[in-house]
Amino acid sequence: MEKEMEYTKQADAGHIKEFGQYFTNYDAARFMVKWACESADTVLDPAAGNSIFLTYAREENEKCRLTGYEIDKSILDYFGNPAGVHLINDDYLMQGWTDKYDAIICNPPYNRFQAVGNREQILQMIEKYTGIKYSGYTNLYILFLLKSLYQLSDTGRLAYIIPTEFFNSKYGIPIKEKLIRERLLKCIINFKNDQNIFFHATTTCCIMLIDRTPKEYVSFYNLDKISELENIDVHGQEKGMAIKYADLDPEEKWRIYISHERKKEYSNLKQVSGFCSVSRGIATGDNHFFCLSKTRIKELSLPEEAFSKCICKSADVKRRVFRYSDFCRLANEDKVVYLLDVKGLDDKALSEYINEGEERKIHKKYLLSHRHPWYSMEQKPAAPIWVSSACRGRIKFIRNLAGVKSLTTFHSIFINREYENDIDIIFCYFLTPLAQEIIRQNRKKLGNGLDKFQPNDLMTAQMLDISLISEEDKKDILDLYESIKEDNDEKNIGLLNDIFKKYLCEK
Ligand SMILES: C[S@@+](CC[C@H](N)C(=O)[O-])C[C@H]1O[C@@H](n2cnc3c(N)ncnc32)[C@H](O)[C@@H]1O
pLDDT digits (tens, 9 = 90+) for 384-395: 999 998 887 789
DSSP string, 206-234: EEEEEE-S--SEEEEEEESSGGGGGG--S
Domains of the chain: total = 3
Residue 256 located in a structural domain: no
State whether 361 and 276 are in the same domain: no
Q: What is the mean pLDDT of residues 287-302?
A: 97
% residues pLDDT > 70 (the chain): 95
| pLDDT of 461 | 93
| Region label for 426, one of left (φ > 0), alpha (ψ between -120 and 50) or beta (otherwise) | alpha
pLDDT band at 452 (very low <50, low <70, confident <90, very high): confident
> 472-492, pLDDT tens digit by residue?
999 999 999 999 999 878 899
Whether 105 and 43 have beta carbons less than 8 Å apart is answered as yes
State whether 55 and 123 are in the same domain: yes
Residue 30 pLDDT > 60: yes
Residue 235 located in a structural domain: no
Residue 365 pLDDT > 80: yes
Residue 194 pLDDT > 80: no
Q: Which amino acids bring their CB within 6 angstroms of ligand 1?
A: 19-24, 45, 47-50, 52-53, 69-72, 75, 91-93, 107, 109
Residue 224 located in a structural domain: no
| pLDDT of 231 | 85
Which pairing describes strands 217-223 and 86-88: parallel, antiparallel, or unpaired? Answer: unpaired
State whether 12 and 159 are in the same domain: yes
State whether 272 and 293 are in the same domain: no
State whether 156 and 298 are in the same domain: no
Chosen domain end from 185, 214, 238: 185
Phi, psi dihedral angles at 415 (to 5 degrees): -85, 135
| pLDDT of 345 | 78
Residue 293 lies in domain: 287-309+328-377
Residue 223 located in a structural domain: no
Comparing 160 with 174, which gets the higher pLDDT?
A: 160
Which pairing describes strands 269-271 and 42-45: parallel, antiparallel, or unpaired? Answer: unpaired
> 399-425, pLDDT tens digit by residue?
999 999 999 999 999 999 999 999 999
Between 41-45, 73-77, 166-170, 296-300, the lowest mean confidence (pLDDT) is in 166-170
State whether 133 and 154 are in the same domain: yes
What average pLDDT does the structure give for the chain?
91
Q: Which helix (H) or strand (E) segment is 159 a member of?
A: strand 152-162
State whether 406 and 272 are in the same domain: yes
Chosen domain end from 377, 392, 411: 377
Residue 339 located in a structural domain: yes
- Which mutation among 7, 19, 33, 151 tests ligand 1's pocket best, with the greatest number of atoms within 8 A of CB? 19
For the CA of 69, the nearest atom of ligand 1 = 21
pLDDT band at 317 (very low <50, low <70, confident <90, very high): very high
Task: Output the domain CATH number for residue 27.
Answer: 3.40.50.150
What's the predicted TM-score (pTM) here?
0.64
Whether 344 and 303 have beta carbons less than 8 Å apart is answered as no
Residue 303 pLDDT > 80: yes
DSSP 478: H
For the CA of 45, the nearest atom of ligand 1 = 6
Residue 93 pLDDT > 60: yes
For the CA of 110, the nearest atom of ligand 1 = 1
State whether 18 and 160 are in the same domain: yes
| pLDDT of 308 | 97
Chosen domain end from 127, 160, 185: 185
State whether 22 and 99 are in the same domain: yes
Q: Which helix (H) or strand (E) segment is 185 a member of?
A: strand 185-191
CA of 79 to the centre of ligand 1 (A): 13
Residue 160 located in a structural domain: yes
| pLDDT of 357 | 96
State whether 9 and 130 are in the same domain: yes
CA of 148 to the centre of ligand 1 (A): 14
State whether 354 and 463 are in the same domain: no
Residue 193 located in a structural domain: no
The CA–CA distances, whole Å, from 45 to 183, 200, 451 equal 23, 22, 32
Residue 213 located in a structural domain: no
